[in-house]
Amino acid sequence: RTVYVNGEYLPEDEAKVSIFDRGFLMADGVYEVTSVLDGKLIDFGGHLARLNRSLTALGMPDPLSEAEWLDVHRQLVDKNGITDGMVYLQVTRGNPGDRDFVYPPADTPQTVVLFTQSKPGMADIPQARTGLKVVTIDDIRWGRRDIKTVQLLYPSMAKMEAKARGADDAWLVQDGKVTEGTSNNAYIVKDGKIITRDLSHDILHGITRAAVLRFAREAQMQVEERSFTPDEAREADEAFVTSASTFVMPVVEIDGVPLGDGRPGRVAARLREVYLDEMRKAAV
Ligand code: PLP
């Protein structure tokens, strides 16, 4: 596989990053994941806009221009022959030469790494037809989940606990309300109304969330942006999650309680179809 590191395209086993890199020592970095369908980037503009927002929130400049980001993404898709899959990008505050809590001088070069993952047929995975089982787990992450940092240990632990409990994923709960999934935004549907937590520092502002809510409103579906409890979720007619790499995925069980008839709901199925259709058309 060819990867990109600080301006160079290299075979993955020749790519190097310093052990003093603040991304490695302090999780001082941000990332984005952009899906590729039919060799084209899905919602690339959305992901670049959020990258910029994350970098700004951490006082980091954007190391590349929009045209340069697009070029690196396209080159990697091309060099690795990706039809369906994703491009991962990460920017860290770089290598200050020593470990120090104080940020290095502003002219310290940032570390920029991109790589691809091939996932043939990712838009048509069987789980989209069977749905996910989730369990609710305490949300003890830090307070700025709107910044897409590489600090992913707790989501990873929560996912492991979900698997140990026989589920596919976890929905995280803070002060009695669902925040989001370990790596996706969470929704319930009740009496035809789509309910998902409102935007704040408590959740990642999903790029897929923004697109899906836009399509839902355009289709005259009712949308309510507010938090909901695990009890309300377990009594919902249906539920689903959204993320750039899984699009819209139905949830059929929460904490062992089947939703509705225990099968993927119609709203989730329709939104998945609309999302994939529209985003393929707009792909770059
Ligand atoms: N919430 C969290 C915690 C995530 O990690 C992600 C994606 O990685 C999302 C939500 C969904 O965001 P997006 O739709 O931009 O992929």
On whether the CB atoms of residues 203 and 266 are closer than 8 A, the answer is no
pLDDT at 197 (0 to 100)? 98
Domain that includes residue 170, residue range? 127-282
Q: Is the CB of 211 under 6 A from ligand 1?
A: no
**What is the CATH classification number for the domain harbouring 198?**
3.20.10.10
The 3-state DSSP class for residue 68 equals helix
pLDDT at 106 (0 to 100)? 87
Q: Is the CB of 136 under 6 A from ligand 1?
A: no
pLDDT at 253 (0 to 100)? 98
On whether the CB atoms of residues 168 and 135 are closer than 8 A, the answer is no
Q: Mark whether 153 and 40 lie in a shared domain.
A: no
Q: Mark whether 181 and 237 lie in a shared domain.
A: yes
pLDDT at 153 (0 to 100)? 98
Q: What are phi and psi of 23, to 5 degrees?
A: -65, -40
Q: Where a domain ends, among 99, 120, 141?
A: 120
Instruction: Return the exposure string of 49-69: e unless at least 16 CB atoms fall within 10 Å of the residue's CB, then b.
Output: ebbeebbeebebebbbeeeeb
Question: What distance in angstroms lies between residue 107's CA and the mean position of ligand 1's atoms?
Answer: 30
> pLDDT below 50 — which residues of the chain?
none
pLDDT tens, residue by residue, 192-225? 999 999 999 999 999 999 999 999 999 999 999 9
Matching residue, tokens 């369908």: 37
Q: Mark whether 181 and 163 lie in a shared domain.
A: yes
Q: Is the CB of 244 under 6 A from ligand 1?
A: yes
Residues 6 or more apart in contact with residue 214 via CB below 8 angstroms: none
pLDDT tens, residue by residue, 35-52? 999 999 999 999 999 999
Query: Annotated catalytic sites, by residue?
Result: 148
Query: Which residue's alpha carbon is at the smallest distance from atom 12 of ligand 1?
Result: 206
Q: Mark whether 271 and 131 lie in a shared domain.
A: yes
Q: Mark whether 34 and 145 lie in a shared domain.
A: no
Q: Where a domain ends, among 68, 99, 120?
A: 120
| DSSP 8-state assignment for residue 161 | H
Question: What distance in angstroms lies between residue 183's CA and the mean position of ligand 1's atoms?
Answer: 5
Q: Is the CB of 208 under 6 A from ligand 1?
A: yes
The helix (run of H) or strand (run of E) holding residue 214 is helix 207-218
pLDDT at 53 (0 to 100)? 98
Q: Mark whether 266 and 133 lie in a shared domain.
A: yes
**What is the CATH classification number for the domain harbouring 68?**
3.30.470.10
Question: What distance in angstroms lies between residue 202's CA and the mean position of ligand 1's atoms?
Answer: 12
Q: Which of 183, 205, 275 most suits a substitution to test ligand 1, by most atoms within 8 Å of the C-beta?
A: 183
pLDDT at 85 (0 to 100)? 98
Query: Which residue's alpha carbon is at the smallest distance from atom 5 of ligand 1?
Result: 183
Question: What distance in angstroms lies between residue 148's CA and the mean position of ligand 1's atoms?
Answer: 8
Q: Mark whether 273 and 149 lie in a shared domain.
A: yes
